[in-house]
Chains A and B, each alone.
Chain A
Amino acid sequence: MKLNQLVGATAIALAFPLAVHAQGALRIAMTAADIPKTTGQPDQGFEGNRFTGIPLFDALTHWDLSSADKPSVLIPGLATSWKVDDKDKTKWTFVLRKGVKFHDGSDLKADAIVWNVEKVLRKDARHFAPDQIGVTVSRMPNLVSARRIDDYTVELTTKEPDSFLPINLTNLFIASPAHWQKKWDALGSVSDPAERAKQAWAAFAADASGSGPFKMARFTPRERVEYVKNEAYWDPKRKPRLDRVVLLPMPEASARTAALLSGQVDWIENPAPDAVPQIRQKGFSITANAQPHVWPWQFSFVEGSPWLDRRVRHAANLCVNRDELKQALGGLMEVPKGTVPPGHPWWGNPKFEIKYDLKAAQKLMSDAGFGPNKRLKVKTITSASGSGQMQPVPMNEFLQQALRACYFDVELEVIEWNALFTNWREGAKDPKARGAHATNVTFAAMDPFFAMVRFTSSKTVPPVSNNWGYFINPEFDDLIAKARGTFDDKGRDAALARLHARIVEEAPFLWVAHDVGPRAMSAKVKGVVQPKSWFIDLAPVTVQ
């Protein structure tokens, strides 16, 4: 055999097992401009949780992502059970699952939970991580401390009784303290402890260790992260079937579409809507499902706002033909009936029905003193793009046109996404709101605080949180207090359902759409279950 033949044969022999091994490789183009953080507290919104949280890490509580039909509900994760203290409702006990190991081989015990809480709550902790505070603490605003009771029991304390804590904890992903310690030890030459901790976290991010169904195999900052399956994953139902997952940040929709159509990736998030027919025509599939997401106008209730009159708010909600809007968006939206859909545990049968009824809307406007000769001027601020904003400009122009029939003259002002976002907490009274009567910032509605409480509590007016329009009503404060103070799941859900029903009835929003989280994928990709959630489980997916 000649040398070049030998080299060729060796190359084929080496390449063949690789090719076989690579059969289960899934390449996903994300919408994020960078890889979401891999420290255990992902950023980049819920796309971060979806791709660098849930696959790599576990939390004490999980969302059930196994069904496309049922609402995604809370299920045990690293904690097998939890309960609030009978006497002191600020103290919770979580019993941990036994036998769980981190990817680095260390055991997951109560100390690891305490360590992960303290990384953002204890400034004097060696591993204190300022850059993780925002995404952690804001999603569990009442958590104040954690204490080990024994190896498999941990006590969490909230600053006030808060039945939402188990739901909040889906966002606290548990990273390996032992693995972080190795990174810290390797940085002996760095004398400043804060700088050393920062560098240890950066090193951890490049070589993360959680306990999730996938393990990090390779990390190229800003370009790609690769996972391999965790054969030892504790949940047999979520043992991954893919050998490898490659995640690529690709913020430009047309670039993602081109990457899919040219075979460079197998799956893209949020394809360009105008490319959907072409994608389908070329044999790729589109999956979508209603997400706990709301695309609204959030009304201002400050003095002089035209939305102070409930008849006007109801009229706007009845004046929009959302089915037409859905058609204009190529079917990629769900028509809302409230913040959560009928059938959801928090639905609550509101007496006001959100639907298209032009005559009823016009009558309400007439009753409120408006008509063809006395039109109502309203101003809304929006952005040209932004996370979860879908297609804000055409959608707002559609609303502008639709509301004309109900005697509204809508002025739209498009401002930069970050400025709009920042003003969300500054409020309608702030000069940066530009005198707007409504703001168009979309939001996630998975958690009761983020879906309802922050918009309707007198305690969350600017600058505390996102009650942008100063919607203040003591009845709502009472309903919120009742929901927060009810600790059995059914009772809490019933209280939240009452709150939701009252929100729909009072209509502090113009509800326009729910996003459906469209994703396009190659016919080779099988086993995808797209739940009614922002998240998706990669474990059952295969590539044939």
Chain B
Amino acid sequence: MFAYAIKRTLFTLPIMLGVSLVCFALVHLAPGDPLVSVLPPDASQAIKEQMMALYGFDRPYLEQFARWLARVAQGDLGTSIRTGRPVSLEIGKAVGNTLMIAALATLIGFVLGTLFGFVAGYFRDSWLDKAASAAAVFGVSVPHYWLGMILVIIFAVQLGWLPPTGAGPGGSEAWVWDWVHVQHLILPAVTMSVIPMGIIARTVRALVAEILSQEFVAGLRAKGLSESGVFGHVVKNAAPTALAVMGIQLGYLLGGSILIETVFSWPGSGLLLNDAIFQRDLPLLQGTILVLALFFVVLNLVVDVMQTTLDPRIQRA
């Protein structure tokens, strides 16, 4: 197992290098001016050229990439062009904030998704299956942005039960785990949970249906095992895949949702990315994409290792 983990870790190194290259290329291929965050459009060409030289954007792309990669290898993601604050600090804070809603959203999504999935799979073609499947389809197809706004209108504007935006009365730096602050998590987390809920439900339904049709289940029943005992075996067989799906969904959610975090003004990685894109703040944009991509790579690695632990048969060569 240890050797497998080491081998998988080594495999991630070229992936990380590829991710770095792709994220650098994407950022520079996008239309627009890399100095738009510090240079108004009415600035003269002379100022623009002076600034390009000051920030090193006048150098060849290859040189810019090599310099950036060398700094990243030393753990330095640079500083934001616009604010002068260290990119790592900005990302650290934003990811921490996103983690709060992503963890809650994953929990809600996983609990409801597995519940609906098992119900639908176990009672296939019944009205329960149809109701649970409808909930799952709603989850994967409803636009986040629209759902977020509808929830805000109902629960914040009309009923006044929950706050519509922000990370608490004093912002995320003054965050404490009390009701005044926790209530700010609810609407964004619920909005964020519907997609993982739908995906997990559909995956689990298919898995449960497939497992139930396998011969070993008939064998278990023929041996007189109670239905709860059979259910336990189904759960055990479905768990690795459900876990893998959950891991991937958590990865997606940790990337933050630009739309959800914008609707709720939640200071997470999605809002940070949105800001970096619109400001063309290249160091911040490159750093954020890189960290989130690497996070995904690491998460996949962890899920692979966990899957192998749960079911040694799927250990990859």
Contact = CB atoms under 8 A, between A and B. Distances in A.
Contacts of A201: 84
Contact of B160 (A202, A220, A262): A262
B51 interface: yes
B55 A264 contact: no
A205 interface: yes
Contacts, number: 163
B241 interface: no
B157 A198 contact: no
B211 interface: no
B33 A422 contact: yes
B294 to A, nearest CB: 22
A133 B85 CA distance: 17
Interface stretch (A79-87, A248-256, A321-329): A248-256
Interface stretch (A185-193, A347-355, A460-468, A500-508): A460-468
B265 A249 contact: yes
Contacts of A263: 160
Given A202-B85, A221-B85, A255 B55 contact: no
Interface string B16-51: 000000000000000111011111111111011011
A141 interface: yes
B309 interface: no
A524 interface: no
Interface stretch (B3-11, B167-175, B214-222): B167-175
B271 interface: yes
Given A201-B84, A222-B272, A419-B32, A262 B47 contact: no
A201 B85 CA distance: 9
B40 A135 contact: yes
Given A134-B39, A252-B262, A419-B31, A463 B164 contact: no
B164 A221 contact: no
Interface size class of A (residues with CB under 8 A): 35 or more
A484 to B, nearest CB: 16
A137 B174 CA distance: 37
Contact of B164 (A34, A251, A262): A262
Of the candidates B38, B54, B274, B275, the one having the most CB atoms from chain A within 10 angstroms of its own CB is B38
B153 to A, nearest CB: 7
B41 A421 contact: yes
B165 interface: yes
Contacts of A254: 149, 152, 263
Interface in B47-80: 47-48, 50-51, 54-55, 79
Given A205-B84, A418-B31, A421-B41, A198 B262 contact: no
A432 B47 CA distance: 21
B205 interface: no
A130 B81 CA distance: 9
Given A223-B172, A418-B278, A454-B42, A37 B83 contact: yes
Given A220-B173, A252-B263, A255-B164, A137 B47 contact: yes
Nearest to B149: A254
B84 A202 contact: yes
A289 to B, nearest CB: 24
Contact of B165 (A133, A137, A258, A463): A258
B43 A134 contact: yes
Interface in B136-175: 149, 152-153, 156-157, 160, 163-167, 170-174
Contact of B41 (A224, A259, A422): A422
Contacts of B156: 258, 262, 264
Nearest to B49: A463
Contacts of B85: 202, 221
Contacts of A118: none
A89 interface: no
A262 B51 contact: no
A432 B33 CA distance: 13
A138 B44 contact: yes
Interface string A236-265: 000000000000111110110011011110
B264 interface: yes
B36 A43 contact: no
B124 interface: no
Given A201-B84, A222-B272, A264-B166, A425 B263 contact: no
Given A248-B166, A250-B265, A262-B160, A134 B35 contact: yes
A235 interface: no
Contacts of A222: 90, 94, 267, 271-272, 275
Given A250-B165, A255-B263, A418-B33, 15 more contacts: A37-B82, A45-B40, A134-B39, A135-B38, A198-B84, A202-B85, A222-B267, A224-B171, A255-B164, A258-B152, A418-B32, A422-B41, A425-B41, A425-B45, A464-B44
Task: State the 9 A-B residue pairs at the shortest beta-carbon distance, nearest first.
Answer: A418-B32, A134-B39, A138-B43, A258-B164, A220-B171, A223-B171, A419-B31, A202-B84, A463-B45
8 contacts: A221-B85, A222-B275, A248-B165, A264-B166, A418-B36, A418-B278, A421-B41, A425-B41
Interface of B: 31-33, 35-45, 47-48, 50-51, 54-55, 79, 81-85, 90, 93-94, 149, 152-153, 156-157, 160, 163-167, 170-174, 262-265, 267, 271-272, 274-275, 278-280
Interface of A: 33-34, 37, 43, 45, 130-135, 137-139, 141, 198-199, 201-202, 205, 220-224, 248-252, 254-255, 258-259, 261-264, 415-419, 421-422, 424-425, 432, 441, 443, 450, 454, 463-466
